[in-house]
Amino acid sequence: MGLCFSTAGRARRPAPSLYFAREDDIINRVSVGFFRREAAAPRTGAAPFRGLSLRRTGGLAVPQISIVVPVYNVERYLDQCVKSILAQSFADFELLLVNDASTDGSLEVARKYGFDRRVKIFDKPHGGLGDTRNYGARRATGKYLLFVDSDDWVEEDMLRDLFSFAQAYRADLVVFNYVRENAAGPGSRVCRLPLRYPEFGRQAGERIIAELVGPDAEDGPWKDAEMLGSAWRRMYLRSWFVENGIAFGDERKIMLEDLPASLYAHCVARRLLVVGGAYYHYRWNPDSLSTRYRPHRMEMLTACFSLVERILRSQGRAEQYEQRHLAWFLRSAAHSSLVNCFSPKNPAGFRGRWREVRGILKSPLLRRAARSDYLSRGSRADRVVLHVLRLRFTAPVYLFYRIYSRMLRKRTSRG
């Protein structure tokens, strides 16, 4: 595994939406009649993080904030991203543009900004998003560290406000809110955590850890907390980030490569602050949720589950969060992988998709998770998903997800 963690030097954290957009009512509609027709159904290790090392600055002034922007084939969006950072009302920062062997004109766009002394441009062999973030973090020199994805943009007062909050509370980790921008058309939505701001201390930290591990069984104010595991949703004290060996995984081997790193960060944070500002604009593409196909999705999400489980064990939290984590596997791994099988971009025909569905149902981890009754206390959509995933036979599961995926695409296309 490319992502793990070390415990040395430690004094002792599209997680994406639980279902795709508008899924609850679709699941409920597909289940009506489906279960009328159905008969009753029969009931690892990783290597440690490579710690980052602090760099000497050779007497040069150290910026207060380092912003790492991984760049890969974003020629269309990079200008907007960089301009929003250079227009900050807070000027004491460095911007690291790290090109990950883009095949379009992204590197040329980045080089246009080389005139600004705050901008550093790097060109590296392709290694994926996690590797590119790690590369930038190793070369950052600021007191605080931020990550911004190259197709997104930020508010002009983001750095000023986050720096002021971090200094006032002497925070290791600052979490903030964001605006979800619809890339497929007009419309945006402010996404906030259901807290009183600013929230400082252990109570908020424990609540975020719980949400990163898995969902609440019952509906509540945290049910719609989205993108909580994203690297870009927090600012880190860089010395603390380095000392704890925080790093991101290889997205070619693990999906949601920033989730385990974010969980680990929250587990070891001594001074956590959550602020109310929605400073980050996240470009969200609803079409990709129902149409994008990702080969080996189940295996890559299983790898993410296993790594999170290992982190929880190392922190003495595995038993406390076991049921929530198994619920995450059912919703975010098994359910989404079955939807993935029926993507129109899946080149497989009937036989190939049948094998994919059958392979998912044979997962020992799925069988373990399906034995949990945690989701039986949840919404009707949760109970339907739990019922379907408990089925041992490929045919009814194949039929359910074939119908469900078609309905999801139609609903998404209508907006």
pLDDT tens-place string over residues 137-177? 999 999 999 999 999 999 999 999 999 999 999 999 999 99
Contact between 323 and 374 (Cβ < 8 Å): yes
User: Which residue from 135, 101, 104, 105 is spatially nearest to 120, judged by alpha carbons?
Assistant: 135
| pLDDT higher than 90, residue 89 | yes
The pLDDT of residue 11: 38
What is the pLDDT averaged over residues 327-346?
95
For residue 32, pLDDT over 60 is answered with no
Residue 374, token pair as written in the block: 């945690």
Sign of the Cα pseudo-torsion (27, 32, 37, 39, in order) = positive
Taking the C-alpha atoms of residue 311 and residue 322, their distance in angstroms, rounded to an integer, is 12
List CB contacts of 109: < 8 A, sequence separation 6 or more: 75, 78, 79, 82
* Cα–Cα distance, 415 to 410 (Å, whole number): 9
The answer on pLDDT for 20 being more than 70 is no
pLDDT at residue 287, as a whole number: 63
Instruction: Summarize pLDDT for 381-396 with one digit per residue, the tens.
Output: 889 999 999 998 999 9
Helix (H) or strand (E) holding 300: helix 297-314
**How far, in Å, CA of 261 to CA of 256, rounded?**
10
For domain 65-288, the question of CATH label 3.30.450.20 is answered with: no
Q: Is 214 in contact with 208 (CB distance < 8 Å)? A: no
Mean pLDDT confidence for 17-40? 46
β-sheet bridge partners, residue 82:
none
What is the structure's pLDDT at 53?
37
Interval 281-308 mean pLDDT? 87
pLDDT of residue 19: 42
The predicted pLDDT at position 288 comes to: 60
Question: What confidence score (pLDDT) does residue 22 get?
Answer: 46
Q: Token pair of 181, please?
A: 């921008």
Query: In the block, which residue shows the tokens 């050779």?
Result: 58
**Would residue 137 be called left, alpha or beta, if left means φ above 0 and alpha means ψ between -120 and 50 degrees?**
alpha
Half-sphere exposure for 157 (CA within 13 Å, toward CB): 5
Q: Is the CB of residue 255 less than 8 Å from the CB of residue 304?
A: yes
Compute and round to an integer the Cα radius of gyration of the chain.
22
pTM of the model: 0.84
- In sequence order, the 6+-apart residues with CB closer than 8 A to the CB of 140 are 66, 68, 94, 96, 238
CA atoms within 13 A on the CB side of 117: 6
pLDDT band at 290; cut points 50, 70, 90: low
Which of 119, 133, 98 is CA-nearest to residue 257?
Answer: 133
Q: Residue 119: left (phi > 0), alpha (psi -120 to 50), or beta? A: beta
Domain ranges of the chain: 23-46+289-414, 65-288
pLDDT in tens, 361-384: 999 999 999 999 999 988 898 899
